[in-house]
Chains A and B, each alone.
Chain A
């Protein structure tokens, strides 16, 4: 059918003059016009025919240029003697000239002096054909995806699909299509995309950040609660992370202790949010947190302000980060340890930094204390004594040394209590630990006593009280803040009687709670503030233990936050299951061991805790209460948290089988 595109088929013929010229050159002088016309038609046709054949040779020769040899071969096809001598690789050696209305093509034949040719040095011999391929690919095994070609490996432009690096000077080689198609996975770069926040998210971000660093404590608590619990914050995570790291940077310089604390609480809240996975942002967060631990000065009046609490708190955060994100590949823990050790060992380190380093190391667990802190106790003791007993140089130094001392005592005593056999001899301690010996000794004795006491009844660890600090305010806030610190700082919780782990998922399938994957580990000695609550629980436990649903109601009165949250939760059908608390989003299971068993050692739980549905376990007195008290740990912490004690039975990590 009619194609709109007109073909360009011109029927060009040679001018008849050329026939005359050719005839004349052959010695035929008079040639008739009519003959010329016939000849031109014929010659034009034959030339076209040959050209068409020559094209065939060009195509078969895989070329895009017609060469003189193609014409020779076409002539040969027609049984015509080829025109020898017209060889040219790249062009047809005709020159064009025009003038006087005539156009002329001629074959340029210069006169050359033979002696010139003879005397000139020979031209370079043209290179021979060679085969080239990227070297590494020749050896490559096809089982593995090939690495990208090295740049310049293949001079004429390797296939661009293989390597972005292999772009030769000529940019044409770029791939036309964006390469979602590249084969080598290692080479696959995700397109950089900027995630736009929606207007709502922007508003939220603004509100949250303002509240977190604002002056209203209530608002802040709410904001942190939101960060710690709301799902779907991942899009804002990079912003939060940047906010925190930038905020720390600015406020350290300005010595704005309060803001630093607020920012650390944000970090804590972010870490507590089970829907967020911080690994991608750890590189931003760790420096910020570390700064808050070891910075020389964090507040305007170091002698008065309690920046020590911030250091403690941040140290716990770092420990938590280590636990969650340290792997054999990124080596976060060892890198952090190295940093702390380096700054501690340095003679010139100020007391503030020294304190932070020790706190940071101590929080990393008993093993770290044992290997890194204990050997240096004597040396450190001398240094402290030098400050405390020596001439009063600076009040600040004195306070610092004092804090370091109490810090060392606090962390080392429980470890020593475990390591050394009971008869605690002041002299032995002095011999081993130098000036700190006697103090240590008394602390160890105290720790032992406490452990024994704790074994008998749930008990507040002495150490928790020793901390006067903002943490206290934190821990009073009805959000997770206190909990993990409580757990973490329980090196003293050798005495920790029991930890029970409950998988809500395994326990109560029918429950309507959206994030059912929460594991909550509650230790009875978690913190000072919760001690009360735990005690009340433990008292109520025996009563409620017999019935499955009652614990909620019985416990409700005892603790404020629980009341609130449970009541909201109970609006959901709690009766669906025998586990009334099943309807609640989160559970806290506090199981208390029979008094006798605590002594057996904090290390082992007598048996896996029963699921909450069957809370009144015959094995242990379990109290079950629902509540949002704990913002909850993300799944991994459950097994991880107990590690703080270094002695959690692995059995707790998995959802317990039904008894």
Chain B
């Protein structure tokens, strides 16, 4: 069933094949079913930005399904534009129909509503003719567009025979709404609009069981599972939590408050400790009214909880439930759970524990099967004249030409095409400017002086402390060449420091600029206003705490994202704000420039990550699918992918090209607050509030390591330049260094592991820990490796 929302809501905007070197903002939905009429409704103040929520390929068959480009409704409640209703000629009819349906329901005229709906669907199918009638109920709901399902509250296609409000098919409607939380629920920012969603969602709970029996059901199952064979017990135990949640919610929905409370009291202690946060939310939720607008609850309802269970265990469970005639539980299993059955040995408790913990269970195995080009792009060759210049520079410094062969070797290495690398022009990248080339040369020079790190040669750490920050430091970034540090503060300012003797200067005023001799050699020097030189520049513009900051690779721009819902682009030449990117209507937690510049990604409380280009005021891509806030966003070194870490305890990897989610990593037990790619692009390290750092193999889509040691949120992660060392900084005021080479050394990437996704984590994270360095009382907010592999760390001193 359409459990995972990302499959529907990803923005499937294809690149214009012969477009300019940019990802164009969506203009037409690409779905086959519609002519594109009426989809070009990108009103500039459409609030949510235009999500071209086109149909993703269905689970089976892959037949083109009727899809609807949804314009997220403007906050003011402007009339929803019925974008591309299947009926070619009659969009207005449809709109009317929907309005009538809405009215009928609000008036509690159920029968009339049902009748009309049935008719409407028939009509719809008749007209559209592309309704993929043969779909299994699991995949069907994917066709539902947000708008449609919001109104109809029922899956259009698959569940046709069933009365829509009844239990089983209701679930289809629910899952159809998977788009709900991500796109309309947040993007369309008005809370009132959620309500139809909610009631639709909740209708799934209408099925009535005897409330007093719930405890009995649950303890019966518990008894069964605890008495089952050891090998099955661990797997079947995964059922406890989702069943507990859904049974509780059913009780609450059906207004059995006391039963619900006692049920919760009785069984919440059985749940794994990492679900504590969710349980806390649940515990406060005791009335049906509360369920409206509760996001956590919506997450449970809109996404199926995914369990991976071996076939044997599943059969065992099925037999048990059928024997007992335990329909209540069986219904929940059928409707709210997605059981990913595999053949073979049941997994051990350790294997399961490593992978579970996310809000919606584990990732489905298929979710991580697609091919990811994790290799690095070919480095552009630097032209000879520049190289000569560089050589002269070397000679001037009195250093002989011994560097030459080394540099050649670097060059030759980069000429080799990585088999895992994406095609060079898979996404258009900006052309290298001369200054970029100079910077690359500088980088190479520095590289030759780089310290080779290893367990025996640990890097030095230089800690930049923000004093008198009054707990207001919320974000830090350091330029790649380690010359500038930017800090985002809770008082809405962004401050940029120069940490080299070179002071920050802004460009002269226009009047003064006109006086400059433009032919002179040092024109770049002359345009700078010496009077403005200072070590610190403060950028004013945001109206809320600045949660994210990122320098552009060429050090000309700075991005900042803030609670006020904007991402701002600042010029480091003039130290003024150039653009405010509006799109997230809620706090933007993180933003980052692409390693090649031009693009950037942002993610926020609205549960989506957006891809932008600096010269477009609207996002090029919207990566939707997370079930909770997107806390951190990072570009893959080859700029073709974006990783996002979320409060739903999953990490997702998105393809920039088509907006698809290509990896879902589950295993964290707390919201993810930091991400970093290894320099070779093969691995991803993620840190969460649970203090653990997990390592992932992107190519195989597997967890490959777990680093335990921190006692608080891991705020920052960074690999050394050659990837030998992983540094992690945490709220527990420590920096820890880990042996990355050893961690990745003996990977279990045999076919079996890859095929099944069963991982056996080595229990040696303490051996990988190379060093722990404490600050006195400074949470480590940011880490950075200089080009020579010196670690820079930053944080604000917070007196206790």
Interface residues in chain A, defined as those with a beta carbon under 8 Å from any beta carbon in chain B: 1-3, 5-7, 9, 11, 41-42, 44-45, 48-49, 52, 56-57, 59-65, 67, 69, 73, 77-79, 89, 126-134, 137-138, 140-143, 145-146, 154-162, 168, 170, 172-177, 179, 181-184
B468 touches A133 (CB 8 A): no
B460 touches A184 (CB 8 A): yes
Query: What is the bound-complex CA distance between A132 and B770, given in angstroms?
Result: 26
A52 touches B281 (CB 8 A): yes
Shortest beta-carbon distance, A176 to chain B, in Å? Answer: 6
B563 touches A73 (CB 8 A): yes
Which are the 10 A-B pairs with shortest beta-carbon distances? A157-B776, A142-B788, A156-B797, A146-B460, A181-B771, A142-B790, A161-B773, A1-B237, A159-B773, A127-B468
Other-chain residue from B233, B283, B458, B490 in contact with A183 (beta carbon distance below 8 A) = B458
Query: What is the bound-complex CA distance between A175 and B773, given in angstroms?
Result: 6
B474 touches A79 (CB 8 A): no
B587 touches A175 (CB 8 A): no
- Chain B residues with Cβ below 8 Å from A65 are 471
Query: What is the bound-complex CA distance between A419 and B337, given in angstroms?
Result: 106
Contact with A along B427-456 (1 / 0, CB 8 A): 000000000000000000000011100000
Q: Which residue of A lies closest to B261 (CB)?
A: A11
B240 touches A7 (CB 8 A): no
A132 touches B464 (CB 8 A): yes
A129 touches B294 (CB 8 A): no
Q: Contacting chain A: which of B162-170, B263-271, B301-309, B318-326?
A: B263-271
Whether, in the assembled complex, B218 has its beta carbon less than 8 Å from a beta carbon of chain A, the answer is no
Contact with A along B772-785 (1 / 0, CB 8 A): 11111111010000
Given contacts A42-B290, A57-B587, A183-B459, 4 further A-B pairs with CB under 8 A are: A60-B587, A132-B466, A156-B776, A161-B461
CB<8 Å pairs between A and B, sample of 14: A3-B270, A3-B273, A45-B284, A60-B587, A64-B798, A73-B544, A89-B471, A131-B487, A138-B500, A142-B449, A156-B775, A159-B735, A162-B773, A176-B772
- Chain B residues with Cβ below 8 Å from A45 are 284-287, 290
Contact with A along B660-691 (1 / 0, CB 8 A): 00000000000101000000000000000100
Given A41-B286, A129-B469, decide whether A63 and B773 contact each other with a Cβ distance below 8 A.
Answer: no
Query: What is the bound-complex CA distance between A176 and B709, given in angstroms?
Result: 12
A42 touches B289 (CB 8 A): yes
Given A2-B269, A7-B276, decide whether A131 and B465 contact each other with a Cβ distance below 8 A.
Answer: yes
A2 touches B270 (CB 8 A): yes
Query: What is the bound-complex CA distance between A1 and B237, given in angstroms?
Result: 5
Query: What is the bound-complex CA distance between A161 and B489, given in angstroms?
Result: 28
- Chain A residues with Cβ below 8 Å from B689 are 59
Whether, in the assembled complex, B586 has its beta carbon less than 8 Å from a beta carbon of chain A, the answer is yes
Whether, in the assembled complex, B793 has its beta carbon less than 8 Å from a beta carbon of chain A, the answer is yes
- Chain A residues with Cβ below 8 Å from B462 are 133-134, 137-138, 140, 146
Shortest beta-carbon distance, A277 to chain B, in Å? Answer: 25
A131 touches B789 (CB 8 A): no
- Chain B residues with Cβ below 8 Å from A48 are 284
Q: Which residue of A lies closest to B673 (CB)?
A: A59
Shortest beta-carbon distance, A57 to chain B, in Å? Answer: 8
Residues 521 to 537 of chain B near chain A (Cβ within 8 Å): 536
- Chain A residues with Cβ below 8 Å from B793 are 159
Contact with A along B220-250 (1 / 0, CB 8 A): 0000000000000110010010000000000
A60 touches B589 (CB 8 A): yes
Whether, in the assembled complex, B485 has its beta carbon less than 8 Å from a beta carbon of chain A, the answer is yes
Contact with A along B488-522 (1 / 0, CB 8 A): 01100001010110000000000000000000000
- Chain A residues with Cβ below 8 Å from B289 are 42
- Chain B residues with Cβ below 8 Å from A162 are 460-461, 773
B499 touches A138 (CB 8 A): yes
Query: What is the bound-complex CA distance between A147 and B734, given in angstroms?
Result: 20
Shortest beta-carbon distance, B648 to chain A, in Å? Answer: 13
Q: Which residue of A lies closest to B671 (CB)?
A: A59
B545 touches A62 (CB 8 A): no
Q: Which residue of A lies closest to B459 (CB)?
A: A183
- Chain A residues with Cβ below 8 Å from B473 are 62, 129
Other-chain residue from B269, B273, B713, B790 in contact with A140 (beta carbon distance below 8 A) = B790
Whether, in the assembled complex, B416 has its beta carbon less than 8 Å from a beta carbon of chain A, the answer is no
Residues 634 to 665 of chain B near chain A (Cβ within 8 Å): 647
Other-chain residue from B285, B547, B777 in contact with A157 (beta carbon distance below 8 A) = B777
Other-chain residue from B191, B272, B459, B777 in contact with A1 (beta carbon distance below 8 A) = B272
Shortest beta-carbon distance, B295 to chain A, in Å? Answer: 9
- Chain A residues with Cβ below 8 Å from B500 are 138
Shortest beta-carbon distance, B590 to chain A, in Å? Answer: 9
Query: What is the bound-complex CA distance between A140 and B479, given in angstroms?
Result: 17
Query: What is the bound-complex CA distance between A77 and B565, given in angstroms?
Result: 11
Residue of A142, A170, A172 with highest tally of chain B CB at under 10 A: A142
B790 touches A133 (CB 8 A): no
Shortest beta-carbon distance, A162 to chain B, in Å? Answer: 6
Q: Which residue of B lies closest to A142 (CB)?
A: B788
Other-chain residue from A6, A146, A155 in contact with B465 (beta carbon distance below 8 A) = A155
Residues 319 to 365 of chain B near chain A (Cβ within 8 Å): 349
Query: What is the bound-complex CA distance between A155 and B797, given in angstroms?
Result: 9
Query: What is the bound-complex CA distance between A132 and B629, given in angstroms?
Result: 33
Shortest beta-carbon distance, B607 to chain A, in Å? Answer: 12
Residue of B273, B605, B771, B779 with highest tally of chain A CB at under 10 A: B771
Shortest beta-carbon distance, B754 to chain A, in Å? Answer: 28
Whether, in the assembled complex, B313 has its beta carbon less than 8 Å from a beta carbon of chain A, the answer is no
- Chain A residues with Cβ below 8 Å from B589 are 60
Query: What is the bound-complex CA distance between A256 and B499, given in angstroms?
Result: 69
Shortest beta-carbon distance, B717 to chain A, in Å? Answer: 14
A41 touches B459 (CB 8 A): no
Shortest beta-carbon distance, A175 to chain B, in Å? Answer: 6
Residues 585 to 600 of chain B near chain A (Cβ within 8 Å): 586-587, 589
Query: What is the bound-complex CA distance between A69 and B547, given in angstroms?
Result: 14
Whether, in the assembled complex, B50 has its beta carbon less than 8 Å from a beta carbon of chain A, the answer is no
- Chain B residues with Cβ below 8 Å from A154 are 463, 465
Other-chain residue from B563, B775, B788, B797 in contact with A143 (beta carbon distance below 8 A) = B788
Whether, in the assembled complex, B457 has its beta carbon less than 8 Å from a beta carbon of chain A, the answer is yes
Whether, in the assembled complex, B467 has its beta carbon less than 8 Å from a beta carbon of chain A, the answer is yes
Query: What is the bound-complex CA distance between A182 and B473, given in angstroms?
Result: 29
Whether, in the assembled complex, B279 has its beta carbon less than 8 Å from a beta carbon of chain A, the answer is yes
Whether, in the assembled complex, B470 has its beta carbon less than 8 Å from a beta carbon of chain A, the answer is yes
- Chain B residues with Cβ below 8 Å from A132 are 464-467
Shortest beta-carbon distance, B550 to chain A, in Å? Answer: 16
Q: Which residue of A lies closest to B353 (CB)?
A: A1
- Chain B residues with Cβ below 8 Å from A60 are 474, 547, 587, 589, 631
Q: Which residue of B lies closest to A67 (CB)?
A: B471
